[in-house]
Structure 1
Amino acid sequence: MNRLFDKSIVLACCIAAATGLAVDARLVAAFCLGVIATSLAELAQKERTSRTSEAASYAYIIAAVFVPPFVPFAPLALYDIARRVRRERVWVALGIGVAFVFALVADLRADALAARTLLLTAILSVAATLLSLRTAQLEREQQRMRRIRDELQERALALEARNRDLADRQDYEVELATLAERARIAREIHDSVGHQLTRASLQTEALRVVHADEPRVAADFADVKHTVDEALQLVRASVHALNDTAADLSVQLECIVEGACSDGGPQIEIEVLAEHAPANITNCFAAVLREALSNTIRHAHAKTITVRCMEHPSFYQLIVTDDGADATPASSSNVAEGMGLGSMRERVEALGGTFTAGPRAGAGGWRVFATVPKQQGDEAR
């Protein structure tokens, strides 16, 4: 848009400079060719067409050297030459400018054109060249500003993503600390209060036996024992409930994956789509994942490990796959392999689930697949 505005002004000044000249075929041709050349410069986008338009501008200046009616419209060509001038071609542009100056002097001496026309053309040529250089600098500054704006936007988006990651990480750390604290409280209650209540129950039962010949005293001790047993049952229920809430499936699996990641090791991708899994299922899947990752990292030589844990309407599912070249991890230690797979199978089948492990069908690598029914898992609690 800036170029079109500049060229409109330059063209109007060129027409004003040509005022007073005899309108003939050469002047009309000069006007038409000048407009066509400068329009081609705006339409040229590719490198090949750009070179063609640049050559047309040079040809117009050369024509102005030999044909005086081309002189008044030469500033249009000089404007286009100045916009495309490069350091490696600056001498060509200067040579064309010097030739045009000599053409103006020659036309002035030969009285080919009026002195007024030549003076206006000279002034307009300098103004058009400076205007073109100024507009080119303005366009470069605009491009630089757009580039800076894009870089700032990219940095802002990257910072937002990093802030989200940090916030998620902070939430994860808080959740992990909360779960660890719940587990610690559950252990403390179980080890201190639970043992003390068990001891009080045994002591009360012993006193009831000692005073068996005193029915009233024995009945009082029986009531005390019943109260202590009820308190013990409530403490055990609270401890189990607190321990269950301390075992979060997503946090446990992500913690295991984070511990297994290393700089030179395989890339581990994890996706957990399960919520509020019972503690026994959480512990089972955690043990299975820990053993599967250990086998894969030690024996499979995999580059990528994928872990997916999903909650379905009637069961929980854990799938661990890798792209290792060796389809039978730990093939060199069959005993250890048997113990590892056997341990995973026992844990899953103890909850009424299904466990399979073996090479991936139709692809390289190893696959561990475990499912545990919800109802069986809940009853096992």
Structure 2
Amino acid sequence: MRRICDKAIIFFCCLPGVLGLDGFAMPVAAILSGLFFTLFYEIISEKKVYCLVLTLIHSAAAVAFLPISLLCPIVVYDCINSKRYYNAVFPAMSVAICFTRLGLTTAFVTSGLCVIAAFLGIKTMKLYEYEQKLISMRDEDTEKQNQLKARNRELIDKQDYEIQLATLGERNRIAREIHDNVGHMLSRSILQVGALKVIEKDEMVKEQLSGIGQTLSGAMDSIRMSVHRLHDESIDLAVSAKEALKALETKCEVSFDCDISPDAPKKLKLCFIGIVKEAVSNVIKHSDADKVSVIMREHPAFRQLIFSDNGKITKPTADSGIGLQNIRDRVSALGGICQITGDNGFKIFVTVSKEGEKQ
């Protein structure tokens, strides 16, 4: 748009000199030649040779037909603006050759317009370059901001994951310590109370010891339930699966998606975690995959695990092996269905009904 405005300014500055010519045909021919040149130059501006030929033709025509030289400033502008500085010499030479024939005033005005056109061409060209640099810098800045946001999200997710992992580990440690320390002390106290009941002759004391034994047994049952609950809560299916998949991060692009409820039975969690670990080991040892996908889905009546990669694996490995047999045994123990294939990449498809989990 700036080029069009610049050319319009130069054209209207040249117009008085052209309209001052005698007759009608000469001004019209000069104007048409200038318009034809600038329009055609826009079309072929990417082709250096064609632009040079067009400039030479116009310059030669300007020397042969004097009115055309009055529109040489437009030619100078196009040459300078397209960074073909040497081409601008030819229209300038045409004006110089026609200098004495144009008349002193017209010659100086035309020469001045050529200089102004050159400055306008450089100015518009520089503005365009600065705009392109600004757009490029803005795009790079936007891209860097998006990358920074992605890195921040990744860092936050990683921190949340590490906190969750540490919390689960602490729960597991507390459950283990309660089981090992308090549980054993209560068990010993129950045995001691039972021994006292055997050797005690006084019925009243025996009755009191029975009450103490029942209290201790109730406390033992309560602690046992709490320990089991803590241990079950310490098993997070998604976190444990991600931890197992870390072994593939240096080899494959890993995709993981899990929407199974945290309240899923402990047996199912351990089953799916064991399957993922075994599948990861299988990919590392036997597959040349560069993409691995793990999907865990919860449906109203059943839960699914789909482990797949895009590598090539031998059929005997897909059909046999102690590790794969262990996967089948785990699923079978929950009354589920397990399909393992290796035709188009290694794939494990497991379905476990919610009724089967309760068995």
Pick the aligned partner of 1:227 from 215, 240, 251: 215
Amino acid in structure 2 at the alignment position of 1:66: A
Structure 1 pair 286/5, CA: closer, same or farther in 2 (3 Å)? same
- Amino acid across the alignment from 2:328: R
* 2:10–2:73 contact (8 Å) kept in structure 1: yes
Cα RMSD of the aligned pairs, angstroms, is 2.4
- Unaligned 5+ segments in structure 1 are 108-112
SS in 1 for 2:316: coil
Give the aligned residue type for 1:47: E
How much does 1:182 deviate? 1.1
How far has the Cα of 1:168 moved from its partner?
1.1
Q: How far off is 1:145 after superposition?
A: 1.2
Answer whether contact 2:318 2:341 (CA < 8 A) is retained: no
**Cα displacement string for residues 216-265 of structure 1 (whole angstroms, at most 9, x for unaligned residues):** 1111111111111111111111111111111111111110010x2264x4
Which of residues 247, 256, 259 is equivalent to 1:273?
Answer: 259
Matches within 5 A, 1:106-185: 107=101, 113-185=102-174
Instruction: Specify the alignment match of 1:209 in structure 2.
Output: 198
Change (3 A) 1:51 1:302: same
Residue 82 of structure 1 corresponds to which residue in structure 2? 80
**Matches of residues 242-281 of structure 1 in structure 2 within 5 Å?**
242-258=230-246, 260-261=247-248, 263=250, 265-276=251-262, 277-281=264-268
Residue of structure 1 aligned with 2:89, choices 94, 101, 115: 94
Name the CA shift for 1:298/1:63 in 2 (closer, same or farther; >3 Å).
same
1:1-381 → structure 2 map (5 Å cutoff)? 1-42=1-42, 44=43, 47=46, 55-86=53-84, 90-105=85-100, 107=101, 113-211=102-200, 213-258=201-246, 260-261=247-248, 263=250, 265-276=251-262, 277-322=264-309, 323-329=311-317, 337=321, 339-359=322-342, 363-377=343-357, 379=358
| Identity of matched residues, % | 34
Alignment check: 8 A CA contact 2:62 2:94 kept: no
Distance 1:30 1:267, change over 3 A: same
Q: Which residue identity is paired with 2:105?
A: R
CA distance in 1, matches of 2:240, 2:271: 11
Instruction: Report the residue type matching 2:210 in the other structure.
Output: A
| Deviation of 1:46 (Å) | 7.3
Provide the rounded CA distance (Å) in 2 between the counterparts of 1:230 and 1:244: 21
C-alpha distance 267-126 of structure 1, shift in aligned 2 (>3 A) = closer
Task: Name the TM-score, length of structure 2 as normaliser.
Answer: 0.91
User: Residue 309 of structure 1: CA displacement?
Assistant: 1.7
Per-residue CA deviation, residues 113-172 of structure 1 (Å, 9 max, x unaligned), is: 332222111111111111111111111111111111111111111111111111111111
Letter in 1 for 2:25: A
String of CA shifts for 1:18-70, please: whole Å, max 9, x gaps.
3532233122111122123223444x27735x865664444223211111111
- TM-score, length of structure 1 as denominator length: 0.86
- Aligned CA distance change for structure 1 residues 370 and 324 (closer, same or farther; 3 Å): same
Q: Which amino acid aligns with 2:62?
A: A
AA at the equivalent of 2:169: A
Gapped regions of structure 2 (runs ≥ 5):
none
* Cross-structure match for 1:110: none
1:63-95 residue CA offsets vs partner (Å, 9 max, x unmatched): 111111112222112211211233xxx444324
Give me the whole-angstrom Cα distance separating, in 2, the residues matched to 1:347 and 1:371. 12
